[in-house]
């Protein structure tokens, strides 16, 4: 790769350290040049020679930076995206892209007017478990699908310390803007825009100001019904992917190991990265025309978020389409913002 894209991170908390830094350094097409660290200076410990700015304005004014990753709190994405575009940078924005579809349209239009590119960091498309689900759907082994469930559950009864996720007066707060973007994006990326949807939110934790339960029913043509669920009060985690079709069913746990490995310091280019543990295979159950039933375990192929960064690189250098489409993001946000 001859072209190297000089990149800056707007923040260096968990997402910068875990989800961005390791992949920017593992991919030969990127140079992680600078970060913003207002308080503690930790990036230098992980990336020798990196520039650490005290203020985001300094990062924006760095003329060597071509791409800025906006990994700041949810409510800041809209404003920082505009600032970065106006500073002449391409942007990669973490989910949720914005709080409203009007904000999203404004950013897309601004980028087009400035001849800059906007990418949305929907990394869960590159999870090993979801990649397996996608392959099962594309293979048509299940035949005509009738019912699909995607779940992303946790048990967190206490109120979190990140106020931007927990306070009702803050834009893009609550569970639907935290895990909802992952689930809705996965559904839209597989099945497209639904004919209609019905959303239910709930508050179950003591003293919560925001939703901690989300359920969305997406209705598609030909009687396909897709349900996405997230609940912060689940002690017995259920299978995260359940698909039923005319020829059988496929059931899979959420088993992607990338985040867990990155937290342990395992790098994307190390052996064993992105490989699910044994025993986490999906179960494919099929019934043939004679009514005979067969069951088979389907292991996931190794996965890596480096594929997302490769897609960003190919878009910037070779003008190839980025797989997370603008219309998909707009549809996602319209569902999330709906009352």
**Same domain for 52 and 201:** no
pLDDT (0 to 100) of residue 162: 83
Residue in the block written with tokens 């179960």: 283
Distances (CA, A) of 258 to 110, 129, 183, 263, 335: 34, 11, 18, 9, 28
Residue 183 lies in a domain: yes
214 in the same domain as 194: yes
Are 134 and 104 in a shared domain?
Answer: no
Return the axis-axis angle of helices 101-114 and 77-86, rounded to nearest 10°.
10
In contact, 83 and 25? CB cutoff 8 Å: no
Q: How far is CA 266 from the centre of its chain?
A: 20
CATH at residue 278: 3.30.360.10
Check residue 230 and give its pLDDT.
98
Alpha carbon distance 326, 71 (integer Å) = 19
Bridge partner residues of 219 (DSSP): 196, 225
152 within some domain? yes
- Domain match, 22 and 167 both: no
The pLDDT, as a whole number, for residue 1 is 65
- 115 and 136, same domain (yes or no): no
Residue 148 and residue 288 in one domain: yes
Return d(Cα 320, Cα 29) in angstroms, integer. 15
Neighbours of 81 (CB within 10 A): 25
**245 and 188 inside one domain:** yes
- Based on the structure, what is the number of domains in the chain? 2
CATH at residue 73: 3.40.50.720
Three-state secondary structure call for residue 295: strand
CA distance 162 to 262: 21
Report the half-sphere exposure of 285 (CA within 13 A, side-chain side).
Answer: 10
CB neighbour list of residue 167: distance below 8 Å, 6 or more residues apart: 173, 209, 210
Same domain for 43 and 107 = yes
Same domain, 73 and 176: no
pTM: 0.96
Examine residue 335 and state whether it is found in any structural domain, yes or no: no
Q: Which residues pair with 69 in a beta bridge?
A: 9, 92
For residues 261 and 170, state if they share a domain: yes
User: Do both 158 and 270 map to the same domain?
Assistant: yes
Edge-first strand listing for the sheet containing 51-53: 51-53, 30-36, 5-9, 67-70, 90-94, 118-121
Query: Residue 61 sits in which domain range?
Result: 5-121+307-323
Q: How far is CA 315 from CA 164, 211, 323, in A?
A: 32, 36, 10
C-alpha to C-alpha distance for 145 and 220, rounded to whole angstroms: 11
Class of residue 127 by CB neighbours under 10 A (exposed 0-12, middle 13-18, buried 19+): buried
Question: Do 250 and 285 fall within a single domain?
Answer: yes
Question: From CA 97, how far away is CA 117, in angstroms rounded?
Answer: 14
Residue-level pLDDT, tens digit, the chain, 339 residues = 689 999 999 999 999 999 999 999 999 999 999 999 988 889 999 998 999 999 999 999 999 999 999 999 999 999 999 999 999 999 999 999 999 999 999 999 999 999 999 999 999 999 999 999 999 999 999 999 999 999 999 999 999 888 888 998 899 999 999 999 999 999 999 999 999 999 999 999 999 999 999 999 999 999 999 999 999 999 999 999 999 999 999 999 999 999 999 999 999 999 999 999 999 999 999 999 999 999 999 999 999 999 999 999 999 999 999 999 999 999 999 999 998
Q: pLDDT tens digit string along 210-256?
A: 999 999 999 999 999 999 999 999 999 999 999 999 999 999 999 99
């Amino acid at each position: 790769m001859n072209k190297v894209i000089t990149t800056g991170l707007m923040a260096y908390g968990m997402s910068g350290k875990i989800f961005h830094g390791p992949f920017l350094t593992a991919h030969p097409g990127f140079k992680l040049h600078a970060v913003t660290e207002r308080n503690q200076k930790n990036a230098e410990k992980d990336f020798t020679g990196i520039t650490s700015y005290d203020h985001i304005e300094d990062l924006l004014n760095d003329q060597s930076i071509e791409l800025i990753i906006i990994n700041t709190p949810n409510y800041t994405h809209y404003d920082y995206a505009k600032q970065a575009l106006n500073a002449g940078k391409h942007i990669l924005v973490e989910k949720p892209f914005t709080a409203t579809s009007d904000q999203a349209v404004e950013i897309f239009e601004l980028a087009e007017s400035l001849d800059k590119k906007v990418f949305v960091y929907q990394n869960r498309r590159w999870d090993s478990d979801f990649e397996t689900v996608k392959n099962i759907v594309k293979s048509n082994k299940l035949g005509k699908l009738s019912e699909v469930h995607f779940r992303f559950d946790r048990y967190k009864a206490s109120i979190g310390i990140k106020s931007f996720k927990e306070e009702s007066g803050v834009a893009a707060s609550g569970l639907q803007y935290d895990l909802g973007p992952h689930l809705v994006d996965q559904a839209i990326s597989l099945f497209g825009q639904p004919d209609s949807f019905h959303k239910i939110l709930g508050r179950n934790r003591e003293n919560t100001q925001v939703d901690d339960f989300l359920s969305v029913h997406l209705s598609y043509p030909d009687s396909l019904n897709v349900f996405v669920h997230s609940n912060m009060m689940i002690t017995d985690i259920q299978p995260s992917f359940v698909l039923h079709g005319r020829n059988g069913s496929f059931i899979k746990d959420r088993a992607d190991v990338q985040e867990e490995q990155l937290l342990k310091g395992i790098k994307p280019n190390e052996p064993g990265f992105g490989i699910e543990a044994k025993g986490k295979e999906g179960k494919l159950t099929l019934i043939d025309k004679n009514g005979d039933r067969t069951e088979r375990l389907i292991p996931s192929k190794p996965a890596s978020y480096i594929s997302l960064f490769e897609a960003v690189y190919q878009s910037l250098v070779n003008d190839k389409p980025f797989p997370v489409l603008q219309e998909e993001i707009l549809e996602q946000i319209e569902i999330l913002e709906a009352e």
